[in-house]
Structure 1
Amino acid sequence: MKHLLFCMFFLSVFGLYAQNASIYGTISDENNQPVPYATISLKGTSKGTMANDQGSYRLEQLEAGQYTLVFSAVGYIKATQQIDLKANESLEINFTLQTDLEALNEVVITSNRVRETLDEVPSSVSVLSSKQIESYQQTSTNIADVLLEIPGISLSTNLTSNTGQTLRGRKMLILIDGIPQSTPLRNGSRDINTIDPNTIERIEVIKGATAIYGNGADGGIVNYITKKTDAAKPFESTTMIGSTGALKTIEKTVGANISQTFSGNLDKLGYVVNGTFRQTGVFRDADGEVISPYYGIGETDQYSLFGKLNYQIADNHKVELMYNYFSSNQNSDYVAQVGEYGVTPSIGVLGEDLAVDQGNRYNHNAQLTYDFTNIFKNTDFKLNLYAQDFRTVYGYTTSFYDPNLGFDGGQSSIISTKMGARFNFNTTYQFGEVSGNVLYGLDVLNDVTAQELIDGRPWVPETDMTNIAPYAQLKTLYKNFVFKAGIRFENIGIHIPNYVTLTRYAAGATTPSSGGVAVDGGDLDYNATTFNAGLRYNKWSVFKPFVSFSQSFSIADLGRTLRSATESTVSQINSDAVIANNYEIGFNSRIGQTNFSGAYFISTSKFGATYTELPSGIFEIDRQPERVYGFEVAADTKLSQHFNLGGSFSYTEGKLDVENNDNFDTYMNSDRIPPVKGVLYLGYNLSNAFNARISYIYSGSRDHFEANENGDYSYGQGPISSFNLVNLSTSYQMSPSTTIGLGIENLLNEDYYNLLSQFAARNNDYIKANGARFNVSLTVKL
């Protein structure tokens, strides 16, 4: 027994000695900059490791022999190197990875419910990476401004409301990790600014009508994808502090923000947690005048709390839990001094606002995701269970004057609660040279939305919608062709209780001008089938064309229709759904280090969703047929090792068939159709340490409408004048862990009015845009 134990001990020591060789080194790029978190493995073995944030790595406990080292990293070309490792040797291997020039074509999108590259999608898609989001928010921390350079999306409003910020002239559906943020049952236009940029990993924009996520995506979808649990270490920390303010007159404009992120991976558990607080100061225009606080985002306290846990139950199934809280409330020391449209702007003057704080009071989102890979033959399963609880409060207005109840005015609030489930199956197939997948499943959504006044008066009754929608999507790959086709069956039931419309009075009147109608509730049913089909050809990198057709389904702001009802029963109300048909042809191209893309689209619908202002000031929805059309082009090129140049141009126009005779000869209002938009940018990168980006944004004019006999314009028809903006963002990496940033919004201090201020043609809304503003930041990563 002693001899046996001695032999075992000797063999184990010998084995440890024989496996005492190691490999170490640094992974860098062609600019001699470290490539963080690159993967290094030994081909044909289970041995491997990941480089640290400085590109350094080490492989230990290796046996002597000949090996093939494999080096890979996101955005770089995978490479190998043969080595001959001697016993007890410590071998240094430093390796340079080459940037993958085709990496942009391999951008992965997930908003189609399955991971796909852009070359597999026969439609127009824009993706903002985390680096782009960081650069854009260095100029403005407002998430609506982060979207402004995306072709097809209208410019932001600088308000809590995103009225007029459309996608290809139609309403877009806003999502957070696929959870609907929009409230299509009562479209309050408060869905874009519902998340903090520091919570977002990437933004995916799918353009054109789509029904993949259900009700409300006539122009497309914008999906905010939250940060991933993919940290390389058990614990990582990112701290960011910053300050903002005006350059013209800094008094009372200084704001502050702080954001803290913790993330890590512990064996099978990954986590990421973020908390952010932002406080903005007074906003001033180019002349240094205080901007009117009416629906503004100046003097706002913004809170955000985000968390995500991911647990790998086994090799083929995992579970993930996400929660996000967002709140944005304005608490201003100023009140609006109303100007005169087209003459003098509305400004802010010191005063006491007796109303409660306006803004997105709260937005809770929670989601549980379960993934089961290969649940049965060639089929993956994903289950999403989600919930959203949202409330937004609007500003005070005297239009809610009611002498009988003793109210001089009032504030309204939209409350929406959603709960849903998605059951998704993805089955892959291959028959010879033909391969692809079939995505199919069932969506279930319950949406309860109401609008009430802060004083308790109901305005829109509690509308309870249940949507059950089975769907199927086929993708086929054959040689250089990609074909996609899908179908979705919408089965929507909406219950509306008995209600009385809000009694409205003209200012100072004692007799009601409208409202007070008792409406018998009931059930509304909407059943529709929507289709999509597309074809892409990928043989030539210099020209990859695609053609597509897609449909969307939406209920055109039912709440607005209900609150202004004049009929006595719900069944008599005209609330036909809108089915939008999107026809598109486009291409992607790469010539050397230059990328091009372009698309032309036509979007039609039998029923419209355009707001018209009546003489009483009440809005109604026009249901005439609509035709929206336009094109988008974009280009980006690497001028040299340090410089890149790019730009885009977007044109959208829309007309109505007022007489319903197939003659589309009436221009649609500018709250739907924006003027042309041009973007030009120049980027500079010095060894990944110093980055600078200057962008020029041109917004054109749009003037299709005539004033009435009093010289006044209806809402949405005010003439729009062109303006030019220049923004600057810079960052400098002082050390491996510390980065400072400086951004300037409206660098040239352009004096202009936002689009909504011009097209709304109302005194309250006639508000100038921000003058030059700065944003400085310090980021420390540990």
Structure 2
Amino acid sequence: MAKSQNSSVRGVVLDSNNEPVPGISIRLNDTGIGAATNVNGIFSIKELKAGTHTFHISGIGYQKQSKSHTLRAGQELEVTIQLQEDTKEMDEVFVYGKSESTLLKQKGFAVNAIEAKDLELQSIQVNDVLDQTAGVRIRQAGGLGSRVRYNINGLSGSSIKIFIDGIPIDNYGSSYSLNSIPTSAIKRIEVYKGVVPAEFGGDAMGGAINVVTKQSSKNTLNVSYSYGSFNTHQASINGAFRTENSGLTSKVSTFYNYSDNSYKVWGDNVYVVDDRGKDQHVTTKRFHDSYESKGIKFDLGFTDVKWADQAFIGVLVSDMRKDIQHATTMEIVYGNRWVGQSTNMIQATYIKKDLLTSGLDVNFFASYSKLHRNLVDTVDYMYNWLGERTVNPNTGDYYRWLGGGEGGDSTLNKDNEEKYTARLNVAYQLGKKSRLSANILSTHFTRRSHDALDPQLLQDLTDSRMLWKNLLGVSWDYQAFGERLKSSLFYKFYAQDVEMNEPTQDNSNNIVINSYDAQSNNSGYGLALSYELWPNTILLASGENTLRMPNSRELFGDVSDNVESASSALKPERSVNFNLGFNLGPYRFSGHAVSLNSNVFYRRIQDRIMPGVPDQQDETFTYVNVSSVLSSGIDIELGYSYTDTWTWKTGFSLANPRFNTEFDANGSPYLYYKDRLRNEPYLTANSNLRYSKKDLIQQNAHFSAYYNVGYVHEFYKNWPGIGGAGKDIIPSQTVHDLGVSYTFPSKKITLSCDAKNIFNEQVFDNWALQKPGRAFYGKFTYNIF
């Protein structure tokens, strides 16, 4: 049979910011032949005759275009089309197209998509943006660089998975966190509440956060620098460079962060002891809490070529140093203890739509990383909150810790970790209405520890831990009733192997080898549905039976963060999740737009993995399985805008996670049966008002201002049912933030200023750890090209 000589056209449609535009129509002449762009702005028209063809490009909210191309027999033409927004107003009616974020919300999952366009110019971080989202609470143990826990709908910890472009962020090491990603490099942030699509390949159970970075096809270079309170410096450089003819592309992203974190603290745990042995409460600055991190990520490869949409080899180098101000609570003060970490990673990425045949999409990622972490704790002096060594008034000698270090025995512990990760996502379009996809994620983690201050007998033995995870996800997406009904049915399989060999000394100084070896296989399944009752009115429902396997930190501990390694026998936590909600709007009239989104959730969790609650004098904690947790609640987000000048969003979230096991293994009743979970916020609210104005003061300039208020209701540090009066309560707190930015007419320079916690509210989080008070930041952004 003779080879077909028909031609084809494949291309991508971009907006004025070089971002892909979905839902754009491309039609051939006046015939019915054509296509529409997908969520990545890509279209394909095949079986075209040789000759000159005129293509008409149109989409709601964009100016129409016509382009003519002459095709040779058998030619496969690739084109890039850039659209300009249609800002005309006719009869006070404004027209808008569906953004990627809107299309994402219509897939049936309880998801909120945050566009980063208006946020990239402010002196704020990704976590600040997330904290303004309904149902999301960022829990941080202090200032810049302190450990972060993400709470979604009342559940937090490792149940919430973090991804960058669909890749689990824990591959990058803690020195490369969400706050290391400049907002100028982010396209949008996706927040999944509850059920998470199988395509991500992780074992998320309570939700997921996926940061989607910009993938520009044009040359860009952006530089920013921010300075603010507590001697905080943040700088970044981001660039992408592409050779048009060959498609050769390089991308670079660098960052530098530093802060003294010298904010003021006060309260019950902040005191000094006077000469009479009495506690004197003081207001003072944190004196040993500096943080520094820096890194560079470089990728070299090809984009938008015949054999690949993206093909990159990349490297990441980052390091971090963090002083440790106190133990798990603020009762015990440190003056010399610190931790350092470095990460070196090499990675490969390959993405291709319509590989070999139309409708077959492939997304592959592989990485190898080495992480080195060292904890230094060799000074045994005791300190108070004034940064002074404490003195025995009777002898005049300095008080010293018995173990030789501030956190216990003196240590120069070094952890050397290696991680191999491979992820393959394959999807095939089975026609116009059906799509089948499979995702495989495999990770192999090893850690070897060594402490030069251990007895030689211990140093001669091998301290090693190994964790191997394999996850398979298969999903089938189907559309019906003219695409009004969208469904996603999925199945997940989990396999894990844990091995540990830990030499220790018992109380008699005898060497004891703690060994552990266990394998587990489990599976889960779920379904997500959405139905469009009428335009901009969508019902959503999703449910799953799923589980999460304990991670390396929970299993093996982390001495640098006061986590003991006595939890190797942790069991996976399993959950039955249901979400029911709706997306209304945006409904537009005379320049106004109103939207309302709501999500009701129910979760029943077995063997919930949580950190144990430390006592006031405890310096460490371990992770434990909580027998059963039952959680339900609701989050609501209301939005309003006027001609895109005024934008207002307000959100409310109420979660009710409760301990749901009545008797222990011996038949004794739990005192905290039906109590709300300890140390977990359950009621939050947030409201954000933004004003944007073009041509203010100068033609083609852009001014923006925002005001945000966030509220967290009081919650108990420990189980509410235990004890009488005087229970430890983390109090209610209301935080106000505001900021302004001004982009000059050239659109190259932007100046911004942000004020956080402007009323200096005393803000607490995990275990009543105090967070920064009032702070001011200024930022300079320069788009070189």
TM-score, normalisation: structure 1: 0.72
Q: 1:97 aligns with which of 86, 95, 109?
A: 86
The aligned counterpart of 1:610 is 610
What pairs up with 1:271-420 in 2 under 5 angstroms? 271-285=250-264, 291-292=285-286, 296=289, 298-307=290-299, 309-314=301-306, 318-330=310-322, 354-356=336-338, 358=339, 360-362=341-343, 364=345, 366-371=347-352, 373-376=354-357, 378-392=359-373, 396=377, 402=403, 408-410=409-411, 415-420=416-421
Letter in 1 for 2:715: R
The aligned counterpart of 1:223 is 210
Letter in 2 for 1:606: Q
What pairs up with 1:144-183 in 2 under 5 angstroms? 144-157=127-140, 158-159=142-143, 160-168=145-153, 169-171=155-157, 172-182=160-170
> C-alpha distance in 2, partners of 1:452/1:102?
60
> C-alpha distance in 1, partners of 2:67/2:361?
37
> C-alpha distance in 1, partners of 2:84/2:166?
40
Asked whether the equivalents of residues 416 and 448 of structure 2 are also in contact (C-alpha less than 8 Å), the reply is yes
> C-alpha distance in 1, partners of 2:607/2:480?
38
The aligned counterpart of 1:52 is none
Please report how far the alpha carbon of residue 190 of structure 1 lies from its aligned counterpart in structure 2 after TM superposition: 9.2
- Change in 2 beyond 3 A, CA 1:309/1:730: farther
Asked whether the equivalents of residues 251 and 300 of structure 2 are also in contact (C-alpha less than 8 Å), the reply is yes
- Change in 2 beyond 3 A, CA 1:534/1:337: closer
Asked whether the equivalents of residues 578 and 605 of structure 1 are also in contact (C-alpha less than 8 Å), the reply is yes
> C-alpha distance in 2, partners of 1:746/1:222?
24
Asked whether the equivalents of residues 402 and 408 of structure 1 are also in contact (C-alpha less than 8 Å), the reply is yes
- Change in 2 beyond 3 A, CA 1:574/1:539: same
The aligned counterpart of 1:637 is 640
The aligned counterpart of 2:601 is 601
Matched, 1:485 2:484: no
What pairs up with 1:521-600 in 2 under 5 angstroms? 521-557=515-551, 560=554, 574-590=569-585, 591-592=587-588, 593-600=593-600
Secondary structure in 2 matching 1:131: coil
> C-alpha distance in 2, partners of 1:209/1:354?
44
Secondary structure in 2 matching 1:203: strand
Letter in 2 for 1:649: F
> C-alpha distance in 1, partners of 2:553/2:781?
45
What pairs up with 1:610-629 in 2 under 5 angstroms? 610-613=610-613, 617=618, 618-629=621-632
Please report how far the alpha carbon of residue 598 of structure 1 lies from its aligned counterpart in structure 2 after TM superposition: 0.9
- Change in 2 beyond 3 A, CA 1:559/1:354: closer
- Change in 2 beyond 3 A, CA 1:605/1:775: same
Asked whether the equivalents of residues 439 and 473 of structure 1 are also in contact (C-alpha less than 8 Å), the reply is yes
- Change in 2 beyond 3 A, CA 1:464/1:107: same
- Change in 2 beyond 3 A, CA 1:364/1:552: farther
Please report how far the alpha carbon of residue 656 of structure 1 lies from its aligned counterpart in structure 2 after TM superposition: 1.0
Please report how far the alpha carbon of residue 709 of structure 1 lies from its aligned counterpart in structure 2 after TM superposition: 7.3
The aligned counterpart of 1:255 is 233
Please report how far the alpha carbon of residue 239 of structure 1 lies from its aligned counterpart in structure 2 after TM superposition: 2.6
Please report how far the alpha carbon of residue 640 of structure 1 lies from its aligned counterpart in structure 2 after TM superposition: 4.0
Letter in 2 for 1:328: M
The aligned counterpart of 1:61 is none
- Change in 2 beyond 3 A, CA 1:588/1:407: closer
The aligned counterpart of 1:266 is 244
What pairs up with 1:121-140 in 2 under 5 angstroms? 121-135=107-121, 138-140=122-124
Please report how far the alpha carbon of residue 572 of structure 1 lies from its aligned counterpart in structure 2 after TM superposition: 12
Letter in 2 for 1:628: S
Which digits, 9 at most, give the CA deviation of each residue in 1:371-415, with x for residues without a partner? Answer: 2624346423333223344455568597996479x9853476665
Structure 1 stretch 585-594 or stretch 364-373: which is displaced more? 364-373
> C-alpha distance in 2, partners of 1:650/1:203?
19
Note the residue ranges of structure 1 that are not aligned, 5 or more in a row: 1-28, 46-65, 84-93, 109-116, 247-251, 504-510, 565-569
> C-alpha distance in 1, partners of 2:342/2:53?
60
Which digits, 9 at most, give the CA deviation of each residue in 1:667-719, with x for residues without a partner? Answer: 34444444423233233333561122221212222247459879886xxxx31
The aligned counterpart of 1:654 is 657
Asked whether the equivalents of residues 258 and 276 of structure 1 are also in contact (C-alpha less than 8 Å), the reply is yes
- Change in 2 beyond 3 A, CA 1:462/1:442: same
Please report how far the alpha carbon of residue 215 of structure 1 lies from its aligned counterpart in structure 2 after TM superposition: 5.3
The aligned counterpart of 1:749 is 759
> C-alpha distance in 1, partners of 2:425/2:222?
35
- Change in 2 beyond 3 A, CA 1:628/1:516: farther
- Change in 2 beyond 3 A, CA 1:735/1:581: same
Letter in 1 for 2:584: S
Secondary structure in 1 matching 2:627: coil
> C-alpha distance in 2, partners of 1:629/1:517?
48
The aligned counterpart of 2:746 is 736
The aligned counterpart of 2:690 is 682
The aligned counterpart of 1:470 is 472
Please report how far the alpha carbon of residue 527 of structure 1 lies from its aligned counterpart in structure 2 after TM superposition: 0.5
> C-alpha distance in 1, partners of 2:566/2:736?
52
Secondary structure in 2 matching 1:146: helix
Asked whether the equivalents of residues 70 and 79 of structure 1 are also in contact (C-alpha less than 8 Å), the reply is yes
Asked whether the equivalents of residues 211 and 530 of structure 1 are also in contact (C-alpha less than 8 Å), the reply is no
The aligned counterpart of 1:428 is 429
Q: 1:702 aligns with which of 715, 724, 730?
A: 715
> C-alpha distance in 1, partners of 2:202/2:329?
39
Please report how far the alpha carbon of residue 435 of structure 1 lies from its aligned counterpart in structure 2 after TM superposition: 0.9
Secondary structure in 1 matching 2:192: strand
> C-alpha distance in 2, partners of 1:411/1:179?
33
- Change in 2 beyond 3 A, CA 1:292/1:614: closer
- Change in 2 beyond 3 A, CA 1:411/1:148: farther
Which digits, 9 at most, give the CA deviation of each residue in 1:116-154, with x for residues without a partner? Answer: x3254211112233314414xx2334x433321122221
- Change in 2 beyond 3 A, CA 1:779/1:70: farther
The aligned counterpart of 1:6 is none
- Change in 2 beyond 3 A, CA 1:223/1:360: farther
Which digits, 9 at most, give the CA deviation of each residue in 1:542-588, with x for residues without a partner? Answer: 42111111244322356655669xxxxx9997432112221110111
Tell me the matched-pair count.
656
Note the residue ranges of structure 2 that are not aligned, 5 or more in a row: 1-14, 30-51, 69-82, 89-93, 267-281, 383-400, 559-564, 696-700
> C-alpha distance in 2, partners of 1:492/1:82?
54
Structure 1 stretch 215-224 or stretch 689-698: which is displaced more? 215-224
Secondary structure in 2 matching 1:144: helix
> C-alpha distance in 1, partners of 2:648/2:624?
43
Letter in 2 for 1:734: F
TM-score, normalisation: structure 2: 0.71
Which digits, 9 at most, give the CA deviation of each residue in 1:318-376, with x for residues without a partner? Answer: 523344333332469xx6799976xxxx999xxxx5444x3554364623224262434
Which digits, 9 at most, give the CA deviation of each residue in 1:8-57, with x for residues without a partner? Answer: xxxxxxxxxxxxxxxxxxxxx9xxxx888999999759xxxxxxxxxxxx
The aligned counterpart of 1:23 is none
- Change in 2 beyond 3 A, CA 1:303/1:693: same
Please report how far the alpha carbon of residue 541 of structure 1 lies from its aligned counterpart in structure 2 after TM superposition: 2.9
> C-alpha distance in 2, partners of 1:36/1:558?
40
> C-alpha distance in 1, partners of 2:676/2:56?
58
- Change in 2 beyond 3 A, CA 1:631/1:393: farther
